[in-house]
Structure 1
Amino acid sequence: MVDEMSAALSIARRLPLSSGKGSIPQLGYGVYQCPASKTTATTLHALQAGYRHIDTAGIYRNEHGVVAATTQFLALNPTIPRSSLFISTKFAPHLKGYKAATNAIAQSLSHFRNPLRADDPKLDLPATRPNGVDRSAWPRDPDFETVRTESDGLGYIDLYLIHAPSGTLEERNGAWRAMVEAQQRGEIKHLGVSNYGVRHLRELFEFIAHEESEGRPGGKVEVWQGEIHPWLSRHDVRGFCEDFGIVIQAYSPLVRGQKWGDELLRGVVERTGKSEAQVLIRWSLQMGFVPLPKSEKNERITENADVFDFELTDDELKLLDTGKYEPCTQWDPTVWTH
């Protein structure tokens, strides 16, 4: 794996998606828990540092900041095409079913197509928590209710994920159907799921097959997102994704800093002269994942992208692929059974 992949690794590297209709930048920047007042500035810095993939979510209440930063970046760099950037967002886990998903997609799309100006005071405020009813970040706000087309703002959502396997199977399937319909309308380019376990994935694949047997588009699961790092290897989900060509987005790839100084990392850090964070990101990249490191500090955002001048050996890759089950988030919907 090292010989084949490390030679091709760079901040510009993209992984093909199984639909055959696009690719995803392998290194991403995550904005989970990033305050709205900071999101625009940190996202703009990440883009200026070379990141081309930003991961947000409706429930993070900062989609509008990500979109504002992205449109600012494109305005400052007119030779960089919109198609080179990749923004993912999600259907909130507290929402359930087809109608809520339809409205949540409309809300996210209103952010993508109605970017706020750089001086808009709303950028300092968190958006309203999505409720599956209102179609803007601020209910009945004309700034976000104005109907726009793909030629406005960012135009479309690159990747839309179900945030977690919430609700009943019927509700999860309804949400997926809403996503497929939005994709058919050109509002979303790619589809995926987050925090799904193998059981949830199999259920979704059964639903997709059923839809297609009835003559309806079933959609395609192109991306799975979840917590993955050396202390949470998820060999079962990884095996499923490999079998079906699903790209793995790894959130919390830095284990939230909980393992700094850990014996497992110490030898690699000493050999490479890199930080624990850089070693963990490099591991994720060489494993073929799409890591989403998050920081609100510009120097850390830059440092997290400085991972292309060294490589881990095969032995180090195996050493860090421990098979352990130690979620750092204390939240693991992959094991939900409802």
Structure 2
Amino acid sequence: MSALHLKSTVRLNNGVEIPRVGLGVYQARRGDETRQAVLHALQAGYRHVDTARIYGNERDVGEALRESGLPRDEVFITTKLWNQDQGHDSTLRACERSLRELGLEYVDLYLIHWPVPSLRLDSWRAMEKLLADGKCRAIGVSNFLERHLDELMAHSKVVPAINQVELSPFLAQETLRAYCQRHGIVVEAYSPLTRGQRLDDPRLGAVAKRHGKTAAQVLIRWCLQRDLVVLPKSVHPTRIRENAAVFDFDLSPEDLNILDGLDEELHTSWDPSDVP
């Protein structure tokens, strides 16, 4: 049986440790819904929360962290630079604004949310400054494909610590995952539950039934066994705890083979394939 647990971490390329499972708060409504979801997650043992400026709920994440009473250095907080804030100086201002909203002196991870053409390199130079200035402990990107990463690394000093992309057995992105592994970039999976669109797939259901688990738990476990950091999203306490109950079983080689065969390039939200 795997030795992984809810507080298990992976080391980023700059030595920072990131918990393997985090709570995503995309589309969680600002105010009490987000605050309570984060608080429930922290009480359940999560130590990683992923938000973004465009989500509009950074303030609620910060309030939940303070209400939890947990020491700041025990919780890994990610936020992201939105497209309209890209560019060198505006990136610096956007980070300061996010820190004010969160009520924090630093974030553990700051990501470029989207590979905006003509602006992403200037944004990354600002991210490098924010890292050097201690405003974030690690910097990375989201929704970047190989060509975007090639360009970035050819014109920068710091290799991204993370590439956060949509990932599930139904969107496996094997080539991108292999690229990131070669370059020491940890891959983080958002929308690992396909936003509910494939939870009733009978092949997935058969694997789940064999283990006495839900389809969602199997999808999260697949991410873990494929060496991904995974960000299941829920605002419901029962499901938040259910999504964390994935450490008492292992998917067999046969299970993994079945799940790996589900890939259909299913994008349930953003698809950066056409971004130059």
In the TM superposition, what is the alpha-carbon distance from 1:89 to its structure 2 partner? Answer: 0.5
Where does structure 1 differ by over 2 angstroms across 4 or more consecutive aligned residues?
A: 93-96
The residue correspondences of 1:220-239 to structure 2 (distance < 5 A) are: 220-239=159-178
Identity %: 43
**Matched-pair contact (CA < 8 Å) for 1:11–1:27:** yes
Q: What is the match of residue 86 of structure 1?
A: 76
Q: What is the match of residue 280 of structure 1?
A: 219
Aligned residue among 82, 88, 92 for 1:102: 92
In the TM superposition, what is the alpha-carbon distance from 1:155 to its structure 2 partner? Answer: 2.4
Q: Distance in 1 between matches of 2:148 and 2:264?
A: 21
**Residues 1:186 and 2:147 aligned together:** no
Match of 2:153, SS state, is helix
Give the AA of the match of 1:255: T
Gaps of 5+ in 2: none
**Matched-pair contact (CA < 8 Å) for 2:115–2:275:** no
Q: Distance in 2 between matches of 1:49 and 1:239?
A: 33
Aligned residue among 110, 113, 125 for 1:177: 125
Q: Distance in 1 between matches of 2:3 and 2:138?
A: 24
Q: Distance in 2 between matches of 1:62 and 1:261?
A: 30
Q: Distance in 2 between matches of 1:47 and 1:63?
A: 16
Give the AA of the match of 2:93: N
Match of 1:156, SS state, is coil
The residue correspondences of 1:124-163 to structure 2 (distance < 5 A) are: 154-163=104-113
Q: Distance in 2 between matches of 1:227 and 1:337?
A: 15
Q: Distance in 1 between matches of 2:25 and 2:88?
A: 26
In the TM superposition, what is the alpha-carbon distance from 1:111 to its structure 2 partner? Answer: 2.3
Give aligned pairs, total.
274
Give the AA of the match of 1:33: Q
Give the AA of the match of 2:241: T
TM-score (norm 1): 0.78
Aligned residue among 66, 71, 77 for 1:71: 66
Gaps of 5+ in 1: 1-5, 115-153, 209-217
Name the larger-Rg structure. 1
1:12-70 deviation line (CA, Å, top 9, x unaligned): 100011112x1000000000010012111110100000100000000001001001101
**Matched-pair contact (CA < 8 Å) for 2:2–2:250:** no
**Matched-pair contact (CA < 8 Å) for 2:49–2:78:** yes
Q: Distance in 1 between matches of 2:232 and 2:242?
A: 11
Q: Distance in 1 between matches of 2:101 and 2:13?
A: 27
The residue correspondences of 1:1-338 to structure 2 (distance < 5 A) are: 7-20=2-15, 22-37=16-31, 38-74=33-69, 77=70, 81-112=71-102, 114=103, 154-168=104-118, 171-208=119-156, 218-322=157-261, 323-329=263-269, 331-333=270-272, 335-338=273-276
In the TM superposition, what is the alpha-carbon distance from 1:269 to its structure 2 partner? Answer: 1.4
TM-score (norm 2): 0.96
